[in-house]
């Protein structure tokens, strides 16, 4: 349940800076800064036709052999990964949610990398309340993105649902590494909460696997495909559903054990 405490409006800059610093520290790669949208950036609710056209053109030029389905999927995955990461970090590590609809994103060639977040009052929440609010935002963003992408190229709703589920499930594995005090059962429960809140329940699952030495690791059972195999056919993702089940599980278990050391 959400707590009543709010960061004061006068503390909005401090709270936002704290969240952005935490995101950078926790991931090692997120590049956020406080402020509103800049010219040429992706802005939720704004006119993003030129942004998407430029990103699509860059993808076509760089990966000409991959084809239209890959280009369309990459438009979506490029624009959902930063909001998803920030949502999970805010809900589980920061303990308060910003207005995620103010998050604007920058393009660097074929990638979306870098964002800005408007300093505004943040609501302190339990992880459960944060999941409910942030998951609903990700569902709304997905619907909005789907409409914008389909104004340019064809992308069906099912792949976006499965790709969002995959992103959230992999973030739960990441969270478990960040917070080893969480039990596998707690993380499994959080994963189900995220999928329900984001409207993608049933589009993937997290599995707890006991290794021969008695340790329990979490692996992803995904339904969707990122289509990266179209550019690297000999390098399937560890979680790729196109590979044999035993290989998928074995690769993920090996990766998890390597992470644990």
pLDDT of residue 201: 98
pLDDT (tens place) for every residue of the chain, 261 residues total: 333 334 444 566 889 999 999 999 999 999 999 999 899 999 999 999 999 999 999 999 999 999 999 999 999 999 999 999 999 999 999 999 999 999 999 999 999 999 999 998 898 999 999 999 999 999 999 999 999 999 999 999 999 999 999 999 999 999 999 999 999 999 999 999 999 999 999 999 999 999 888 889 999 999 999 999 999 888 899 999 989 999 999 999 898 888 877
Q: What is the pLDDT of residue 11?
A: 63
- Domain edges within the chain: 9-155
What pLDDT, on a 0 to 100 scale, did the predictor assign at position 205? 96
For the stretch 57-61, contacts whose Cβ atoms lie closer than 8 Å and that sit 24 or more positions apart, written own/partner, are 58/107, 58/109, 58/110, 59/110
CA 103/CA 125 separation, integer angstroms: 19
Please answer whether residues 67 and 74 qualify as being in contact, where contact means their C-beta atoms are separated by less than 8 angstroms: no
Task: Tell me what pLDDT residue 233 has.
Answer: 86
Predicted TM-score (pTM) of the model is 0.93
Which residues lie closer than 8 Å to 91 by C-beta, 6 or more apart?
97, 125, 127, 130, 131, 134
- CA dist list (Å): 65 to 24, 200, 227, 228, 235: 34, 31, 12, 12, 16
How many CA atoms, within 13 angstroms, populate the side-chain half-sphere of residue 96?
21
């Amino acid at each position: 349940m959400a707590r009543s405490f709010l960061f004061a409006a006068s503390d909005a800059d401090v709270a936002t800076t704290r969240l952005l610093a935490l995101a950078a520290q926790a991931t090692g790669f997120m590049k956020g800064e406080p402020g509103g949208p800049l010219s040429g950036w992706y802005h939720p609710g704004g006119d993003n036709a030129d942004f998407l056209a430029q990103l699509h053109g860059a993808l076509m030029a760089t990966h000409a052999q991959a084809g239209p389905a890959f280009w369309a999927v990459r438009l979506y995955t490029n624009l959902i990964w930063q909001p998803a990461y920030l949502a999970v970090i805010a809900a589980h590590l920061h303990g308060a949610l910003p207005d995620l609809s103010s998050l604007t994103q920058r393009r660097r060639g074929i990638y979306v990398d870098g964002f800005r977040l408007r300093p505004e009052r943040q609501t302190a929440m339990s992880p459960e309340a944060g999941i409910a609010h942030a998951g609903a935002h990700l569902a709304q963003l997905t619907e909005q993105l789907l409409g914008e992408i389909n104004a340019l190229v064809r992308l069906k709703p099912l792949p976006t649902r499965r790709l969002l589920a995959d992103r959230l499930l992999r973030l739960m594995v990441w969270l478990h590494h960040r917070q080893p005090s969480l039990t596998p059962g707690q993380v499994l429960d959080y994963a189900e909460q995220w999928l329900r809140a984001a409207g993608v329940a049933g589009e993937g699952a997290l599995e707890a696997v006991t290794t021969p030495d008695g340790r329990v690791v979490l692996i992803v059972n995904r339904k969707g495909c990122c289509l990266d195999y179209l550019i690297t056919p000999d390098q399937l993702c560890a979680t790729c559903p196109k590979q044999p089940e035993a290989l998928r599980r074995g690769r993920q278990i090996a990766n998890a054990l390597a992470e644990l050391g």
